[in-house]
A and B are shown apart, each in its own frame.
Chain A
Amino acid sequence: MGKDAMRRLLWPLVALVIAIAYPFLFSTPFEQRLGALVLLYAIAASAWNIVGGYAGQVSVGHVVFFGCGAYAAMGAYAHFALSPLVGIPVGIIVSVAIAAVIGVPTLRLSGHYFSMATIAVAELVRLIVTNTDYLGAGVGLSGPTVPRNVFDLSFVSALPYYYLFLAVLVLTLGITWWMADSRMGFYLRAIRDSERAARSLGARASRVKLYAFMLSAGLTSVGGTLYATMFGFVDPDSGLGILISVKMLIMAALGGAGLLFGPLVGAAILVPLEEISNNLLGGKGAGLTFVLYGAIIVLIARFQPGGILTLINRLWTRRSKPPETQAAAGAVHAP
């Protein structure tokens, strides 16, 4: 038991030590900013993973929660001269409410309705915000240019953001881990494998999925608030554009949807890739980057829906176990 728990904790601890040491090993501003961005997207993708991976309900409009957090933070500063941190509770409340509005009707139906509704709501909110002057319309809202105090979270260096994001990511993964290990996590896995069977055994499928969706929405909103504090502004494109949803989804799916560290692995691969391709190709690269994203998503769906970590797991078990247990191991890891 003790040995087993140690083995389970070994890799996360190694990852944590590497993450804490990263800014000292790679200390240029570009590298520190890159590290902070990886952590930021890992937060958002991990939050998506709760509903998309664990509950198996594919939200393609998750940016709406991200936008709630970002707009709440910038709105608190722009309209009430409050710290952008106020955006965290406000964003969470609004996000969870929107999640309930989408989730209550659609999570009773087949998963396709849920996906269609999320994309429609994301577009709806984007259109409304773009036409609302109070929320900055097409121009967006700005945060503090000169920080009044530390609670404005406005720093020149990326280093404070890096450790802030790391702390929030650890918290997000901790919540995810706790949820997956709880009764709710077992229900979710049962529902994902066979909703009808889970229902017949007494799992309240719609309700459990709804809770997962609301939890995911709230955590995504925190990611949005952090994003807005780092960049100091938010507009309909950066806070509510469908491409932000795409990034969350592709990072989780590439790393391994429904696995605790899947989104982090996906973010660690894709964020540097995108930064490099943007630097190399300039503005023209934006289109190509998303062509590549589309291709990656199609290839994952077609060949490896479990993502990279599932693939590694499978290769690992195949190598370290005698051949007769292969089939069983495969069944456990089948998505």
Chain B
Amino acid sequence: MHRVLGDRRAIAILLGPALLVYSLIMLIPMVWSLGYSFTEGNSIDGFTGNGVANFTRLLDDPAVRDSLWFTLKYAVVVTVGQVVAGYLLALLYVFFLRRASALIRTLVFFPVVLPTVAVGLLFQKLFQVAPQTGPVNALLNAVGIDSVDFFGSAGSAFWVLVGMDIWRSMGFYAVLLFAGLVDIPDEVLESARLDGATGLRLVRHIVLPLSLPVLMSSLIFSVNGTLKVFDSIVALTNGGPGNGTTPLTLYMFQTSFTYSEYGYGSTIALLLTVVCLLVSLVVYRVSRRDLTEG
């Protein structure tokens, strides 16, 4: 076996096909897209080079600033929401429900397997104000508050979106973190209890540090997912009202495929790539330090 793996040609044959497919469907399109950043035009008109014009435009474009800000705001709020809700649920499973948690776990996990578009439509109907009053507004009316047009302003639409995405994915993070919590040895918890640590102190000093690695991986998962959010926003608000809930991904999509400015769209995609790269670097750096300490 060693002789096979030591043979350069054998390595080439073993890695070649995977590398080829990866290059064809990942690397080449990425480089290609980078090339488009220096052009203008579209698939109908053809492409012409325009130097760094797209990049200067990127810096001046207020819509880019708005959607970058929205992306970051959304990523932070939803990541915190997902992980905190997931962690609380996991604690609930492990310390309160214990063996009886299977049913609750299944119920909370259920939204994860629902198609995003279905969830989007569900929330549209839940929060709608017209033509029929949705359940949420009906509830507000019942306690004497006037109906709110949740999708009429960017502020309220943002919170509906956040609520939907947290509801949709907290079950996933709960299961992920549950696995981490189950791994904490019973003896450690037992001895901490004997030393008088209960409730919050037990969580703060024993459970949290011991589940930090899995918490960090959840965070990385979550940040990466929320920075690239697309489908849930398209399904719920389609970026509206106006461009009030338009993240970079949707703005890039619209620029390329609706306004047929492929070059500028690629430039926005590049910005998104850089943002993802920076965030990943930060998260990795932080997580590595914490892991060695923990």
Specify whether A and B are partners.
no
Chain A residues in the interface with B (C-beta under 8 A): none
